[in-house]
Amino acid sequence: MSKISCNILVVDDEDDILMAGRLLLKQHFATVQTTSDPYKIPALLQEQAVDVVLLDMNYSTGATSSKEGLHWLKQIRQISPATSVILMTAYGDIELAVRALKEGASDFVLKPWQNDKLVAILKSACLKKSSEEVRTAEAAVQNNTAYHYGEFIGVSPAMQRVYQTIEKVAGTDANVLILGENGTGKEVAARALHRKSKRSQQAFEKVDLGAVSTTLFESELFGHAKGAFTDAREDRAGRFEAATGGTLFLDEIGNLSLALQAKLLTVLQGRQVIRLGTNKPRPIDIRLICATNMPLYEMLREGSFRQDLLYRINTVEINLPPLRERREDIKLLAAHFLGIYSQKYDRPHLHLSEGTLRRLSEYHWPGNIRELDHAMERAVILCDGDELQADDFYFAPGAAAREQQQAPGSITDNDYTLEALEKMMVQKALVKHAGNITHAAKELGITRTALYRRIEKHGL
């Protein structure tokens, strides 16, 4: 049974209610958190986005007035207006239900609940919130509102940290190293740094070092004099000179050989270049930004990347998160690309179904934003009706199968990343303690909330 991508928080002072709710709702929803202490609600809402709170209305011994529930309803509405609240009580009546709905509750249930009815109410709240988010995202993208930061689109905490770092460092001439997987937007970050810098009116020169051959490296970057080699028919400035006064962006710097790294380091240390075929040094005045998807620190330990060069280029580091670590941005990005391609291919009435949005949000996106971009364009071209379905998208084959076939608590021979090891340890702890969150968290040495976050992160 496919689970709805929705984060549910159940708040009740009875452990039996919490256990029953967790067992029931985990069958239907991606994430279910529980707490018996309503005073933990603010912290839980701030730790991660909660879609729906299932909230008891009485917590004090013998309380039946439901004043506490209405108090916490107001608190939730203030802290997280986008979160839906479903109230529950064993002492409900029509007057109280009407009052709760007027004060912002989405619905009202009586205890003991009927399983099918409770699940249906929560599903309705999740899907309603999802539809509202998509409409908001589409409108925001079209109006270029706060969802935008330059060419970036996203409101996730991970991206907010990126924006903050760019704001702090852009106005300086500090060298910046941008790290991230393919398709995460490293060039977008580099251009944002340049656009917000004191050099914004000067040149932005990009060099893809992965595409520059060893033999042409010096000529391309440092320039050459006429006659320096067979095809050198005239004097030519290199990219360093072309970028003087502005920004030089060296993409894929992890691809350089040790010999070329040494030549690059010499130029950066001396702040001057010597064109091939001459002995005359030429001063340069650049702001250097480098980027790579390669593990430079591992390469440093292996001896394939120079330590002195790394220290020279990474005065400040910016780590761009992969799309799977900023899932709350997927709907915004999908709406953005849908707007572009529906206009490009004259399909103005296209929209995304709820099931498609869930599938997009759950997919791993190994190619990150670039893959989502290409997937959306392909879907717009190939879809038959006005509603894009999951079948209209191409998802990398084998990814889901590998996840399903992989035994709990095991990793592949080639996957010794920290992420894979963390997933393995969480799986083992959950299996050992038969799914008991409290005992598993205790063995792992983390809080229950932290364990819930990791369960959601790894799709367990």
Cα–Cα distance measured from residue 175 to residue 289, given in angstroms and rounded to the nearest whole number: 6
Q: Tell me, what's the pLDDT at 404?
A: 42
Question: Residue for token digits 């010999």?
Answer: 259
**Residue 198: φ, ψ to 5°:** -70, -10
| Alpha carbon distance, N-terminus to C-terminus of the chain | 14
Write the CB contacts of 184 (distance below 8 Å, at least 6 apart in sequence): 320, 321, 322, 323, 368, 369
Cα–Cα distance measured from residue 395 to residue 375, given in angstroms and rounded to the nearest whole number: 8
Q: Tell me, what's the pLDDT at 237?
A: 85
Q: Write out the two tokens for 187.
A: 């060039």
Contact between 457 and 446 under an 8 Å Cβ cutoff? The reply is no
- CA triple 50-56-61, angle to 5 deg: 140
Q: Which residue type occupies 226?
A: K
Q: 0.85 exceeded by the pTM?
A: no
Kindly state the DSSP code that residue 26 receives in the 8-state scheme.
T
Q: Is 346 helix (H, G, I), strand (E, B) or coil?
A: coil
Q: Tell me, what's the pLDDT at 112?
A: 80
Domains of the chain: 1-143 (3.40.50.2300), 144-149+323-400 (1.10.8.60), 157-319 (3.40.50.300)
Q: Tell me, what's the pLDDT at 131?
A: 57
Question: Residue for token digits 């589409």?
Answer: 138
Q: Write out the two tokens for 247.
A: 């920004």
Averaged in consecutive runs of 10 residues, what is the pLDDT profile of the chain (460 residues)?
Answer: 78 88 88 90 84 83 64 86 83 64 80 84 76 56 53 87 94 96 94 94 92 86 79 82 94 94 95 89 95 93 94 95 91 89 88 86 91 93 88 69 44 60 81 70 79 73
Contact between 306 and 262 under an 8 Å Cβ cutoff? The reply is yes
